[in-house]
Amino acid sequence: MKHPRSYNTDAATRKRMSNVHLKYGKDENLLALSLWHDGIRYRRNYKKLPGSPDIAITKYKIAVFVDGEFWHGYDWEYKKKRLKRNRNYWVQKIEENIRRDKRNDILLRKKGWQPIHFWAKTVLKNTDYCVAKIEYFIRSKEEND
């Protein structure tokens, strides 16, 4: 059964949105490869955890998310004001994504996991910083165990 759309869009927007991939993006792959080269082993898109973390370092219970700026509301209060097309749909969609991220972080912490979020552009521009932050959390877990 085809679901009715709650918004109207044009062909250019449909084409652009169809090219959005939820898994294994350039940013996520870059971070994963950098961690692998540093000897950090992980699982990708780990469905056993809330939010299916992009990278789950199971040995240390660290869940890493690489969040797209648009989808997860980077600088949201400013950006929300600038939305023009399908405004109601996107505000509702992105604010639900933000709420879901917070709910998943709470669930992960209850299970003893440490959620870490990076913006996609931060990963692309400063991968070393992201790796260093993850390694900091790994060292903290090792010291506390």
Note every long-range contact of 13-16, with CB atoms under 8 Å and residues 24 or more positions apart, other chains counting. 13/85
For residues 3 and 78, what is the distance between their CA atoms, to the nearest angstrom?
32
Report the predicted TM-score, pTM, of the whole model to 2 decimal places: 0.83
Structure token pair of residue 111: 């299970």
- pLDDT for the residue numbered 24: 67
**Cα 98 to the chain's mean position, in Å?**
11
> What letter does residue 64 receive in the DSSP assignment?
E
pLDDT of residue 9: 60
Question: Which of the residues in the chain have pLDDT under 70?
Answer: 1-10, 12-24
Can you count the helices (H) and strands (E) in the chain? 7, 4
Question: What pLDDT, on the 0 to 100 scale, is given for residue 122?
Answer: 97
CA atoms within 13 A on the CB side of 37: 10
- Which residue in 40, 64, 67, 69 sits closest to 54, CA to CA? 64
pLDDT at 87: 86
What is the per-residue pLDDT for 1?
46
- Round to whole Å and give the CA distance between 118 and 121: 8
Domain 23-144 adopts which CATH fold? Endonuclease; Chain A (3.40.960)
Domain ranges of the chain: 23-144
Residue 102 phi, psi (nearest 5): -65, -45
According to the model, what pLDDT value does residue 10 have?
A: 65
